[in-house]
Amino acid sequence: MNSILNNRPALAREVNKVAEVAGYLWEKGWAERNGGNITVNITEYVDDEIRALPAISEVYQIGATLPYLKGCYFYCKGTNMRMRDLARWPMENGSIIRILDDCASYVIIADNPVKPTSELPSHLSVHNDLLSKGSPYRASVHTHPIELVAMSHNPKYLEKDVATKLLWSMIPETKAFCPRGLGIVPYTLPGSVELADATIRELEDYDVVMWEKHGVFAVDVDVMQAFDQIDVLNKSALIYIAAKNMGFEPEGMSDEQMKEMSVVFNLPK
């Protein structure tokens, strides 16, 4: 089949990583129906031939003007597409888009005219913000992890860093591999520019943010590492729940143990 991925192994590897992660999200039960979305900034893999490709869609508005995205290219999950389908057929359930010179609109260029995720305002605003700061992060993942979302239904865990401290203290690896913790975005309408703005603000201090009563949004250098950060946080939530189900409040690592670990692992907070 004719695909933009043919004879482009580096680009194909990035898209295949998205497919692999989409499979994990489904297996974990975090991706009911079309739940969740992934975008990856693939501009570094784009050659002159790709730049010359014609649009295969009409021009769509992003809803925001994002100057750092001029001429950038993204792989995006399609709106209403299922992660479990994307895991097998990434180019039938997602597409590659080109941001136009006005920095406020885009076209689809390959392989099929699959309209990108409804959360595109958040994803693209975040990518714009990352580029503006010279960040090496190129991937963003939004998913619906059951236990973390459940925690967001209790106002106690929505207070600044309460959930972060609890989750970090369940097992040493969580702080080591999610060193900036879990930020909180109060409930905001899915797909809105307001949600995008609130997400950017919170990503100043965190790599993973909770969208209250909805899901999480994570960024990292690639899709695999963004997934890993969510996975370690949710693992801690599961340990907490397992202890509660055994009938006790888990002790958690002590402040001394946390401090010692932070020094040895050279962690920022």
112 binds, among ligand 13P, Zn ion, none (CB under 5 to 8 A by kind): none
Helices (H) then strands (E): counts for the chain: 10, 9
- Taking alpha carbons only, the member of 216, 241, 238 closest to residue 229 is 216
The reply to whether 215 sits near Zn ion by the rule CB under 5 A is yes
Nearer of residues 22 and 50 to ligand 13P, judged by Cβ: 22
The reply to whether 188 sits near ligand 13P by the rule CB under 6 A is no
The reply to whether 192 sits near ligand 13P by the rule CB under 6 A is no
The correct pick among 6, 65, 80, 254 for binding ligand 13P (CB under 6 A) is 80
Can you spell out the DSSP letters for 9-65?
HHHHHHHHHHHHHHHHHHHTT---TT--EEEEE-GGG--HHHHTPPPSS--EE-SS-
Radius of gyration of the chain (CA): 19
229 binds, among Zn ion, ligand 13P, none (CB under 5 to 8 A by kind): none
The reply to whether 117 sits near ligand 13P by the rule CB under 6 A is yes
Write down the catalytic residue from 20, 27, 58, 119.
119
CA distances from 222 to 42, 113, 257 (A): 10, 24, 30
Size of the site for Zn ion (CB under 5 A): 1
Contact 11, 91 (CB under 8 A): no
34 binds, among Zn ion, ligand 13P, none (CB under 5 to 8 A by kind): ligand 13P
Question: Beta strands of the chain (E only): which ranges?
Answer: 37-41, 60-61, 73-77, 94-99, 105-110, 139-143, 182-185, 208-211, 215-220
The span from the CA of 51 to the CA of 64, in Å, is: 23
77 binds, among Zn ion, ligand 13P, none (CB under 5 to 8 A by kind): ligand 13P
The reply to whether 77 sits near ligand 13P by the rule CB under 6 A is yes
Indicate if 204 belongs to the active site: no
The correct pick among 119, 129, 202, 207 for binding ligand 13P (CB under 6 A) is 119
Q: β-pairing, 208-211 with 182-185?
A: parallel
Instruction: Choose the binding region for Zn ion from 86-94, 178-186, 213-221, 230-238 (rule: CB under 5 A).
Output: 213-221
The reply to whether 35 sits near ligand 13P by the rule CB under 6 A is yes
The reply to whether 79 sits near ligand 13P by the rule CB under 6 A is yes
Least distance from Zn ion to the Cβ atom of residue 202, Å: 16
Q: Catalog residues that contact ligand 13P under the rule CB under 6 A.
A: 34-37, 77, 79-80, 117-119, 142, 190
